[in-house]
Amino acid sequence: MNVVCNNPVMYVVDYPAIESVEVIDKRRGRGALIRNGAARRFLRELEGVSASESVEDFEAVLAHYEALLTQPAIYH
């Protein structure tokens, strides 16, 4: 388990052993576990904006996956 991103827009954890990423949209309190090819694609897109400090860049990445982010994020 590796925390890949933790900023005001999103929280992303990579699970390389099962080829998955967990993505939490902090603004909406929703998330998803993305697997296999979609997970690799998400990580590539995230890597493309990782050096950016612009919130809009991270929001743009999330916009492509918004339909998948349906699970409520519950903090405990």
Pairing of strands 10-15, 20-25: antiparallel
Question: Average model confidence (pLDDT) for the chain?
Answer: 92
pTM of the predicted model as reported, rounded to 2 decimal places: 0.87
Q: What confidence category does residue 76 fall into, taking pLDDT thresholds of 50, 70 and 90?
A: very low
Pair of tokens at residue 15: 């699970």
User: How does pLDDT run across 3-31, given as a tens digit for each residue?
Assistant: 999 999 999 999 999 999 999 999 999 99
Which residues are paired to 32 by β-bridges?
23
pLDDT at residue 75, as a whole number: 67
